[in-house]
Chains A and B, each alone.
Chain A
C-alpha cells in the first residue's frame, strides 16, 4: 500500500512541477502579491497633501503651522487666503487636509484662550481621516503643553502616556506581512488541490487512475501529501522573505509556527479536495476556489478586525481555519506567543482539519463509486 501511495505522490509532484503553467502559478503570483502587498497594504499615512489657510500673521500661528510642516505625516502643498477656496482644494482631492487658523488666533491664545484651529479633512477615505485627526490632535496637544510651559500657565491636571507593545512604531507592515503567510499559503494550497483532480478529469487521466489498484483513500493521501509539502514550502518562503527583506521581527518559536502551519495547510487541503471532487472542469475549480478564498480571507481578520463585524458574522468566522492561523502567525512573529496560547488556536483548527479531510474522503469515495 505504501509503495502505491509513494508512486502516486511522486507522480503528483511531477504533474505539478513539470507543467510550466502550474510551476508559474506556484512561484510568480505569490511573489508578485507579496511585493505589491508588502508595499501597498498599509494604513499608515504619510505625506498627506495639506493646504494651510492662515489668516493670522502672529508668531503663535506661524509656530503652529511650522509644527505641521515639520511632521512627516503631512506635506504642505500650498496656502490659500479665502474661505471660498477651501472647497476648491478639498472637492477635487487636491488636498486631503486643510488647516484653518482664524484672524484672531494670536490674540485669543494670549488674552482669551482657547484659540481655535479648524481642521477640515476629506471623509471620502474615512480611515485616513481618522488617522489624520489623531496625528493632528497630537501635534496640537504638544504645542499646547509647550506653550503652557513657556508661558507659566498650568498644565492640564492629567496627561496621557501611550505605549504600544509588540510594535512600538505601529507599523502596518508588521501586521500585514505575517498575515500574508496565511493568505498566500491558502491561495497556493487551494489552487493546487482544487485543480489537481479537475485537471485529470478534463484530460481523462483520472479514469486511468481509477483502474489502477489504488483505493480512494490512497488516492486522497497521494493528492494531499504533495499539497502539504507545497503549502508548507510556500509558507516558509514568505516567512523568509518577511524576515530578510521586510525586516519583520520574529520573536517566537519556529517549531510552534510549523505546528500551526501544518495543521492549517491540512485544513485548507481538505477544502481544496472537496472543491476538486465536486468540480468537473478546471474552470469550475477555479471559480470554486475563488468562491472559497474570497469569504475566507475577508472573514479572517486579515485586513480588518473580526471584532468590528456584526455578531452573527463573528460566529461564522469560527469555522474559518485562517482566523486561527492568523493569530498564531502574527503572535509568533510579533508577540512571541507562548505554547499554551498557540494551542488554544491550534485545537479548533485541528478539529476543522479533521472534519474537512474526512469530508473530502467521503466525497471522494462517493464520487468514485
Chain B
C-alpha cells in the first residue's frame, strides 16, 4: 500500500519533469539515430588518386578494376607530385601509382610493382583501404589470367567466411552495442542526477520520517525508473530492427531477461552514486566517469576488448556494460548462445545485487 503510494509519487515526478521524459524516450531515439547513422566504419567511395605514368591496355584494365569497385572513387592524376599534393591536402586518402615501365615489367620474373601510398593518420581507414586495394588487385590478376586463356593458380587461396555478419556491416555490430550505452545513460546518469537532487533539496529526509521502510523506499525509486528504462530499451530494439535493419536472431524473452538484469545493475549504480554523493554536480560527474565513459570505451561496443593491454582488459570485467554489449551482439547477430548469455546474466545479476545491496546499507547509515 505504502509502496504503491511511493511508486505513484515517483511516477508523477517523472511524468511532470520534462527532462526525465527527455532522457527516457527522446534521448534514446535521438542517440540511436545519431550513432546509427553517424558512426560507421564502412569506408565506401574512398577518393583515391590514380597515377598512370604510361597508359597501356594493361594499365587501363587495372584502372577499370578499381573504378568497378564501390569502395573506390578513383581520380586520374597526371603525375606523382600532383597526387602527393592531393594526399597532403586530404583531397584523396590514397595514391595508386603504375610507373612508366609497368607494362614492360609485367612479363619479367619479379613482376611489376603496383605502388600504393595511404595516408596513415587515420590508421584504421588506411588499413581498410589497403585491404580494398588488395582485393581489387587479386580480382584484376584473376581476370587478366582468364583473358589470357589460363586459370590463375596461386599456390594457396583464402576462402573466407564471416560468421553472423557475412556482409561485414559495421552497423550490425555497432547498433546493438549502442543500446547498452543508451541504457547506461538512462539507468545510471538519469537516476543518479534525479535522486541526488532529492538529497540536495532535502525531500528524502522528509520521506524518511514517514513510516516507509528502506526496502520500500528503494523499490519505490527503482520500479518507475526500471519501467522508464525498459521503455527506452523497447524503443531502441524496435528502431534497431526496423530502422537500421539489424537482424535479430535470438528470442525476445531472453533479451528481456538480460536487459532487466542490466537495468537493475545500472539503476543500482545510479542509486549508489546519488546516495554517496548527495549532490547533483558530483553525481553527474561521477556517473559520467564510472558509468558512461567505461560503457563507451571499455565495453567492446567500439574498441575490441581482447586487444587491450592486460591491465585495461582486467578493468573491463567490472564494467556492467561489457556483459550487456556481449549479450546484445550475440542475441542480435548470433542467436541464443547460452554459454555467452548465461555467463553475462550471472555477472549482471551479481552486480545488480552488489550495487543494490550496497545502496541499501549506505541509505540506512546516512539516516542515523
Q: Which residue of B lies closest to A99 (CB)?
A: B158
B156 touches A131 (CB 8 A): no
Please give, as numbers and ranges, the residues of chain A lying within 8 Å of B202 by CB-CB distance. none
**B312 contacts which of A36, A43, A165, A334 (Cβ < 8 Å)?**
A36
The reply to whether A91 and B133 form a contact with Cβ atoms under 8 Å apart is: no
From residue A294, how far is it (CB to closest CB) to chain B in Å?
7
CB contacts (< 8 Å) of B3 on chain A: these are none
Per-position binary interface string of chain B over residues 183-206, scored 1 when its CB falls under 8 Å from any chain A CB and 0 otherwise = 000000100010001000000000
Contact B41 A127, beta carbon cutoff 8 Å: yes
Contacts of A214 in B (CB 8 A): none
Closest residue to B280 on the A side, CB-wise?
A283
Is the beta-carbon distance between A294 and B41 smaller than 8 angstroms?
no
- Stretch in A118-126, A205-213, A217-225, A263-271 with 4+ CB within 8 Å of B: A118-126
Q: Are B168 and A130 in contact (CB under 8 A)?
A: yes
Residues of B within 8 A of A309 (CB): 37-38, 40
In the complex, A307 has a CB within 8 A of chain B:
yes
B274 to chain A, nearest CB (A): 12
Contact between chains at B168 and A129 (CB < 8 Å): yes
Minimum CB–CB distance for A206 against chain B, Å: 16
**Are A341 and B130 neighbours in the complex by a CB distance under 8 Å?**
no
Contacts A46-B307, A165-B87; is A36 near B165 (CB within 8 Å)? no
Q: Could you say which interface size class chain B belongs to?
A: 35 or more
* A120 and B161 form a contact (CB under 8 A): yes
- Which of B38, B126, B163 has the most chain A CB within a 10 Å cutoff? B38
A350 surroundings in chain B (CB, below 8 A): none
**In this assembly, does A303 line the interface, its C-beta being within 8 Å of a C-beta of chain B?**
yes
Residue in chain A with minimal CB distance to B124: A43
CA distance A160 to B138 in the complex (A): 10
B residues 267-290 in Cβ contact with A at 8 Å: 279-282, 284-285, 288-289
Is A57 part of the contact surface with B, judged by Cβ < 8 Å? Answer: no
Stretch at the interface among B237-245, B297-305, B349-357: B297-305
- The CB with the most chain A CB atoms within 10 A, among B90, B111, B163, B289, is that of B163
Q: How far is the CA of A307 from the CA of B160 in the complex (A)?
A: 27
Name the residue of chain B whose CB is nearest to the CB of A191: B285
Name B165's contact: one of A60, A129, A140 (CB within 8 Å).
Answer: A129
Which residues from chain B contact A147 at a C-beta distance below 8 Å? Answer: 155-156
Are A304's CB and B168's CB within 8 A? no
Cβ distance B39 to chain A, nearest Cβ, rounded Å: 5
Chain A residues within an 8 Å CB radius of B114:
158-161
Tell yes or no: B23 within 8 A of A by CB: yes
Complex: A90 Cα to B111 Cα, angstroms: 39
Residues of chain A lying within 8 A (CB to CB) of residue B307: 42, 44-48, 128
The answer to the question of A155 belonging to the interface, with a C-beta cut-off of 8 Å to chain B, is: yes
Q: Sort A-B residue pairs by CB-CB distance and give the 5 closest, nearest first.
A: A123-B165, A167-B120, A164-B120, A92-B339, A170-B123
